[in-house]
Chain A
Amino acid sequence: QKEVEQDPGPLSVPEGAIVSLNCTYSNSAFQYFMWYRQYSRKGPELLMYTYSSGNKEDGRFTAQVDKSSKYISLFIRDSQPSDSATYLCAMRDQGGSEKLVFGKGMKLTVNP
C-alpha cells in the first residue's frame, strides 16, 4: 500500500459546481497536510496548509483533515474555469524527515 493514495481522475465538472478532492494515507505519524495546485508546465502553488486534524477555510477553498480515518479533503465551492489544474495532496510527519509525501495528483477540468 502506498503511503498516500489519491485518485488521479480526471475529473470534469461544470462551472459553479462544488468539487471534492480526497486523499487517504497510511502513516499515522503525518501531522502536516497540504494541498497544492499545479497548472500545466508550472510549479505547484500552495493552496492550503493544515496542522493535525480540523477544518480550514480560505475563500472558496476548504480543507479538512480527519486523522482518525487518515483522510483529507479539499472542497472548492463555486468552481471556476480558472480552477482547472492538477491538485496534489502532500503531507509530512513531525519527525526529523522534512520530506513531503505526495499523492499522484487529480486533474480537474471546470467547463464553462
Chain B
Amino acid sequence: GAVVSQHPSRVICKSGTSVKIECRSLDFQATTMFWYRQFPKKSLMLMATSNEGSKATYEQGVEKDKFLINHASLTLSTLTVTSAHPEDSSFYICSARRTGNTIYFGEGSWLTVV
C-alpha cells in the first residue's frame, strides 16, 4: 500500500485563489520531502526540497512566493499555490525519503485553475 499520501488528488480552483496540497508520510518520519511538477508526457521537474523545521530549498526558476512550502512536522509537508493562474494547472507530486535512502512518491495531485 501507499506509504506517502497526497491530498487532494484532484482540485479545481478559480484564477486568483490559493490552493493547498498536503503530503503525508504514513508510517515513517521524513526529515526531507520533495515537491515535483510534471507536464504531460514529460519527466518530473523538481520544484523544491522541503526540510522539517527549516525553509525549503527552491530550484532555479521556481518562484518561492508563489509556491509556498511548509514542512511543519516529520510526517507532513504542504505546498500552497498562491494566486493561481491557468498556467499553474499541472500534476504536482511529492516524495519523501525513508531511512535507508529509499524515496517514495505520493499519488499526485491534479490542479486545474479555471
A45-B105, A100-B34 given. 9 additional CB < 8 A pairs?
A41-B91, A43-B4, A46-B103, A46-B104, A88-B43, A98-B32, A99-B49, A102-B44, A105-B43
Please tell me if B101 contacts chain A, counting CB pairs below 8 Å. Answer: yes
Is B102 engaged at the interface, CB distance under 8 Å to the other chain? yes
Q: In the assembled complex, which residues on chain A have CB atoms less than 8 Å from the CB atom of B32?
A: 98
Count residues of chain A with CB under 8 A from any CB of chain B: 21
B104 contacts which chain A residues (CB < 8 A)?
46
Which residues of chain B come closer than 8 Å to A98, judged between CB atoms?
32, 34, 49, 97
Interface residue? A44 (CB, 8 A): yes
Chain B residues with CB below 8 A from A71, complex form: none
C-alpha spacing A43/B35, complex, angstroms: 12
Contacts of A43 in B (CB 8 A): 4, 6, 93, 105-108
**Which residues from A are CB-within-8-Å of B34?**
98-100
CA distance A5 to B73 in the complex (A): 36
CB contact under 8 A between A46 and B43, given known A98-B32, A99-B49: no
Listed in ascending order, the chain B residues whose CB lies under 8 Å from chain A are 4, 6, 32, 34, 43-44, 46, 49, 91, 93, 95, 97, 101-108, 110
Report whether A46 and B106 are in contact in the complex, using a CB–CB cutoff of 8 Å: no
Q: How far is the CB of A90 from chain B (nearest CB, A)?
A: 8
25 contacts between A and B (CB under 8 A): A32-B101, A36-B105, A41-B108, A42-B107, A42-B108, A43-B4, A43-B6, A43-B105, A43-B108, A44-B93, A44-B105, A45-B105, A46-B102, A49-B102, A90-B103, A98-B34, A98-B97, A99-B34, A99-B46, A100-B34, A100-B46, A100-B103, A103-B43, A104-B43, A105-B43
> Which residues of A lie under 8 Å from residue B95 when comparing CB positions?
100
Which 7 residue pairs of A and B lie closest in terms of their CB atoms, listed nearest first? A43-B108, A43-B105, A44-B105, A43-B107, A43-B93, A102-B43, A49-B102
Query: Cβ of A51 and Cβ of B108 under 8 Å apart?
Result: no
Across the interface, name the chain B residue whose C-beta is closest to A97.
B49
